[in-house]
Amino acid sequence: MNNGSITIRPATIGDVPAIHHLIEVYAEEGKLLHRPMNELYRHLREFFIAERDSKVIACGALEIYTEHLGEIRSLAVDPQSSGEGVGREITLLAIDEARKIGLHRLMALTYVPGFFHKLGFKTVDKSTLPEKIWGVCIKCSRFNDCDETAAVMDL
C-alpha cells in the first residue's frame, strides 16, 4: 500500500530497531508483551511495517502455528500516527497474506476487540485455541491472569 506518504511493506533487517521501539512503547503500558531484539530478528519475515518519510510508524506480524491457524500479533502504531488507519491496513495485508498461503483461521489476542470485530473477527473463548494457549501462552508471566480477548476470523 502507498497512501500518500505512507508505505506499507514487508519488514527488513534495518527496521528491527524501530519495530522493537514501537512494541516497547506498548509493552511498557502493559498492552503488548515485550519482545527481545533477537526474537524480532528471528521472526522478521512475519512482520509488515508502515513508514512515512523513511520512519517506521507501525508494525504487525502474521505468525503461523499450524497448517490451519495463524495469528495477527505485535500490532503497534506510533501514538502520533494513531487513527490514520495504518494498523487496519497492516492487518488487512496480513489477512490477505494468510489467505494466499492457505491458512483457514486467524486469531488475535487483544485489548481492543472492537478493532478486530470491525474487520470480521469474532470473540471466542481462549480454550478454543489450544495451539496458542499450550504452545505460547503457558510460558507467559500473565498466563494465570490474562485479560486479553481472543478473536478469530475464518478465512
Q: Which three cell numbers stand for residue 108?
A: 488475535
pLDDT band at residue 144 using 50, 70 and 90 as cut-offs: low
**H-helix or E-strand containing 40?**
helix 37-42
For 46-95, write each residue's pLDDT tens digit. Answer: 999 999 999 999 999 999 988 888 999 999 999 999 999 999 999 999 99
CA–CA gap between residue 50 and residue 78 (Å, rounded): 10
Give 88-124 as a 3 state SS string: HHHHHHHHHHHHHHCCCEEEEEECCHHHHHCCCCEEE
Instruction: Give first-to-last CA distance, the chain, whole Å.
Output: 21
Global confidence as pTM: 0.86
**Which structural domains are found in the chain, ordered by start?**
2-154 (3.40.630.30)
